[in-house]
Amino acid sequence: MNAPTPLRIAHVDTGMSLRGGQRQLLLLARGLRARGHDQLLVCMEGSGLEDRARQEGFRVFTLPPHDPAHAFGILLLRQQLVMSAVEILHAHDGRGHTVAWLASLGLPVRRIATRRVTFFPADRWTYRLKYARTCHAVVAVSAYIRELAAGAGVPREHIEVIPDGIELPANLPGAAARSRLRNAWQLGEEAFVVGQLGAFTPEKGQDVALDALALVATKLPHARLVLAGDGSARAEGALAQKIDQLGARVRLLDAVEDPTDFFPGLDLLIMPSKAEGLGSSALLAMAYGLPVVANRVGGLPEVVVENETGWLVPPGSPQALADAIILAASDRAKLVQFGRQGRKRAEDFSADIMVRRTEALYHRLVSGGGKRQT
């Protein structure tokens, strides 16, 4: 079978932080590079994505940081798109999509926009115009996002569901990795360690996690919570007060660069998110053999299988989350079983699958085959 024809691709992302969306872009770009495609990464000057992309040897084009409405950057990007004869222009955030559209007006490129956030404007006409008339396909990271997009006016035939991908470890971590992390966190083997991974933003629900930890104190006195993520909100307001009140029962970590520095030390991952497009943290936990307790919101029920890889609880309820943590801790054999089943399910979300499906979409668009309805 002949290898797919190499494509000339530009990715656009305007975020300054290196968060989930930017990490997914890098994961996709690595996979496409391994498959022989030529790529240009367009990002903000001084952003975390720029730094990481340059470290990894990608060609980078930066948008000036002090540029009202990106007017000058759009003109420069247009010149770059022409010189590079870009065929696929893939925007990975909303503002990046606007930049990509304006920079490529009239050029023979196929535009794609990825949607992974759950916010959609009430103005259906504006949204339909933006995503149905200015791009050739919309990638939704979950069926939930697809339905939101369709409800906001994007034609279904424009929408392709391609879940975020993860890199699975070759082997599950052993006792040595567990001990290493628990020693670093100053936690003993007797502790039941619950983790949460995500930026410290209101929708991630760290406040609910802390309230749940307080509720399990009587029945689960050895429960400990490790909160890992980026964001200054951890030291502000009510969240900081909750952390102070719980004292040594909470550990705070910065953003996790290497999953082996987080997941092996846990017994359980929780995702008390108030909104979630898919839930890649849950997928990563499952890849490392951990069961997950997640809120029944957004795309999380597409990841966590109730009573098979974890538990789903009502959103915004510290008591429901506390009850699930206590239930999980009460049966170590079930924890192990759910972890093994979660690892198997995580294989369906491998980075390779995500890359191949995205590549196939690119080729369909370039060949003029159009969008396949999902």
Give pLDDT, residue 372.
41
Residue 373 lies in a domain: no
Please provide the distance, in angstroms rounded to a whole number, between the alpha carbons at the two ends of the chain. Answer: 26
Which tokens go with 339? 């972890």
Looking at this protein, which amino acid is placed at residue 368? G
pLDDT for the residue 153:
83
User: Are 292 and 250 members of one domain?
Assistant: yes
Number of domains within the chain:
2
Nearest to 44 by CA among 95, 111, 104: 95
Q: What is the DSSP letter of 257?
A: S
Q: Is residue 2 part of a domain?
A: no
Contacts with 150 (C-beta within 8 Å, 6 or more apart), sequence order: 156, 159
Same structural domain for residues 151 and 271? Answer: no
Which are the contacts of 275, defined by CB distance < 8 A and separation ≥ 6? 117, 118, 119, 203, 297, 298
Quick check: is 109 in a domain? Answer: yes
Do residues 148 and 249 share a domain? no
Q: Do 36 and 106 belong together in one domain?
A: yes
Q: Which DSSP string do the residues of 264-330 spell out, in sequence order?
A: GG-SEEEE--S--SS-HHHHHHHHTT--EEEES-TTGGGTSPBTTTEEEE-TT-HHHHHHHHHHHHT
| Cα–Cα dist 48/230, whole Å | 12
Domain-located, residue 374: no
Q: Same structural domain for residues 136 and 74?
A: yes
Residue 220 sits in the same domain as residue 262:
yes
Q: Which domain holds residue 319?
A: 175-349
Tell whether 215 is covered by a domain: yes
Is the same domain home to 342 and 354? no
Same domain, 355 and 286: no
Do 42 and 12 meet the contact criterion of CB atoms below 8 Å apart?
yes
pLDDT at 233: 57
Q: ∠ CA(28), CA(292), CA(174), 5° rounding?
A: 80
Same domain, 187 and 310: yes
Task: Specify if 1 maps to a domain.
Answer: no
pLDDT for 117:
83
Closest CA to 40 of 108, 87, 107: 87
Residue 91 and residue 192 in one domain: no
User: 3 in a domain, yes or no?
Assistant: no
- Consecutive 10-residue runs of the chain (374 residues): their mean pLDDT? 83 94 97 98 97 98 92 96 98 95 96 86 65 88 94 89 96 95 96 95 94 97 95 73 95 92 98 95 97 97 97 97 98 96 97 98 87 39
**Are 193 and 341 members of one domain?**
yes
Residue 127 lies in a domain: yes
CATH of the domain at 101: 3.40.50.2000
Instruction: Tell me: do 219 and 122 sit in the same domain.
Output: no
